[in-house]
Amino acid sequence: MVLAGLVSTVFVFLIVLVADLAPATDFSPVTDEQFHGVFGRTGLAIGASMLAYLLAQFVDIRLFHFWKQLTKGKHLWLRNNFSTILSQLVDTTTVLVLLCGVGAIDWELFPLLLVNGFLFKVLVALIDTPFFYLVVYWARRKFKLKPGEEIQL
């Protein structure tokens, strides 16, 4: 799933890059300069986002399995939330450090963006927990898995 996210991000970047290189039509209300002003730093943003995403997803996966081992396969809510919340702190911090470091975002905005971005992601992690339980319930029934048992690929 991590690699699928990476591939889809590269695909979106290529679309934005081609759109930025293409000239505006005569009837477009947006000039080439305006379009480039909005989307010209997409490469920086996507690059920082991809690095942060990969780092955070690998942290998330490791933490999820750490919590699974520690809880002996129980307390799915704890594994889901703690691994996601901690990895999203890594994600938000990483992307902001990278973007501030290259000058795409002012360092003055760092604390505000970090707190708001992280709190939003925590809220989403908490909201997705019931849906995570539903998917796990469905997968256990479909693949006839016992609690704690995993599909061997």
87 in any annotated domain: no
The answer to whether the CB of 51 falls within 8 A of the CB of 98 is yes
The answer as to whether 49 is a domain residue is no
Long-range pairs, 72-78, Cβ under 8 A, ≥24? 72/148, 73/147, 73/148, 74/147, 74/148, 76/132, 76/133, 76/136, 77/129, 77/133
Instruction: Name which of 16-25, 29-38, 40-49, 109-118 the model is least confident about.
Output: 40-49
- Does residue 32 lie in a domain region? yes
Write out the two tokens for 121. Answer: 């992601």
pLDDT value at position 42? Answer: 87
For the cut 80, the answer to whether the pLDDT of residue 24 exceeds it is: yes
CB atoms within 10 A of CB 127: 9
Structural domain span for residue 27: 1-40
CA atoms of 92 and 45, how far apart (whole Å): 12
Q: Is residue 22 part of a domain?
A: yes
Alpha carbon distance 38, 96 (integer Å): 18
> What average pLDDT does the structure give for the chain?
91
Judge whether 131 lies within some domain. no
The 10s digit of each residue's pLDDT in 99-132 is 999 998 999 999 999 999 999 999 998 898 899 8
CA–CA separation, 59 vs 26, rounded Å? 48
Q: How many domains are contained in the chain?
A: 1
Judge contact between 96 and 113, C-beta under 8 A. yes
Q: In this structure, is residue 77 part of a structural domain? A: no
- Whether residue 5 lies inside any domain: the answer is yes
In a domain, 50, yes or no: no
pLDDT, residue 151, reads: 79
